[in-house]
């Protein structure tokens, strides 16, 4: 199955077009294309939705609408409903991160629907009954209701990660060797003495502080070359006749 059609985002009776537009943008960010609305009750027209969809207007224009949830998910192999409320039939909820691996596996066999309820009251018990999985996004106990578009983004993000389609950028420069770093430190030690930043009897102590700065994270060969180049240039400027300042 095409990865972009493996998941279907289903919105039950959405009220605000701005949320729908923002959801289209979130779906585009996470590589999803299938948007369905169940009996939409848009109260503000579509101008805000089109504005917030930004570069995902094709998703908004390509949305499908259904009269019932059953019709919207009838061809799906799994239906994951989202809920902020707990109760007798909602106790088996899992977080988006916990649910994502199983849903991604099911999506290899057919379409998986992620169902989101109304902005004002979520999904009713009858709609929960259609779902094969339930998702609850962790939040502070004092305020568990999450904006519809944000809830969709959080769920889509977890699915995007588990699908393994994201390839983080790789550092092109290799890690600096101990010898390379030592050469750099010797250059800086000499320069700092020449410009009067430190006195010879304090040099060991001061260089421990400099070493600590350069040891806070991974340092690549390119990083070391840049720092060595800075030391050379500073030394060149010093030799042009600028008098060294005394260390405080």
pTM for the full predicted model: 0.74
Note the pLDDT tens digit of each residue in 47-89. Answer: 999 999 999 999 999 999 999 999 999 999 999 999 987 765 6
Quick check: is 172 in a domain?
no
* CA end-to-end distance (rounded Å), the chain: 70
φ, ψ at 134 (rounded to 5°): -125, 140
Indicate the number of domains in the chain.
2
Asked if the structure places residue 133 within a domain, the reply is yes
Q: Same structural domain for residues 21 and 120?
A: yes
Q: Which domain holds residue 34?
A: 3-162
Q: What would the pLDDT profile of 107-146 be if each residue is shown by its tens digit?
A: 999 999 999 999 999 999 999 999 999 999 999 989 988 9
Map 36-77 to HEC letters: EEECCCCCCCCHHHHHHHHHHHHHHHCCEEECCHHHHHCCCC
User: Helices (DSSP H) in 195-244: which residue ranges?
Assistant: 203-214, 221-239
Q: Are strands 112-116 and 7-12 parallel, antiparallel or unpaired?
A: parallel
- Asked whether residue 245 is assigned to any structural domain, the reply reads no
**Co-location of 205 and 111 in the same domain:** no
Q: Would you give the DSSP letter of residue 13?
A: S
Task: Kindly state whether residues 35 and 140 are assigned to the same domain.
Answer: yes
């Amino acid at each position: 199955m095409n990865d972009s059609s493996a998941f279907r985002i289903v919105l039950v009776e959405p009220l605000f077009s701005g949320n729908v537009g923002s959801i289209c943008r979130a779906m585009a960010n996470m590589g999803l294309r299938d948007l369905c609305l169940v009996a939409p009750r848009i109260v503000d027209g579509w101008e805000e939705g089109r504005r917030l969809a930004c570069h995902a207007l094709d998703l908004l224009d390509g949305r499908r609408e259904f009269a019932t949830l059953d019709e919207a998910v009838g061809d799906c192999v799994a239906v994951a409903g989202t809920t902020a409320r707990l109760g007798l039939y909602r106790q088996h909820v899992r977080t988006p991160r916990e649910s994502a691996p199983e849903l991604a596996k099911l999506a290899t066999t057919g379409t998986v629907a992620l169902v989101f309820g109304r902005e004002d009251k979520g999904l009713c018990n009858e709609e929960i009954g259609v779902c094969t999985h339930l998702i609850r996004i962790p939040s502070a106990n004092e305020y568990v209701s999450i904006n519809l578009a944000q809830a969709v983004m959080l769920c889509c993000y977890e699915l995007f990660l588990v699908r393994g389609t994201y390839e983080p950028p790789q550092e092109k420069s290799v890690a600096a060797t101990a010898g390379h770093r030592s050469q750099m430190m010797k250059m800086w030690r000499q320069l700092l003495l020449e410009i009067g930043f430190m006195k010879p009897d304090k040099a060991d102590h001061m260089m421990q502080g400099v070493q600590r700065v350069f040891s806070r994270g991974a340092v690549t060969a390119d990083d070391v070359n840049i720092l060595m180049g800075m030391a050379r240039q500073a030394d060149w400027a010093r030799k042009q006749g600028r008098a060294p300042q005394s260390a405080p």
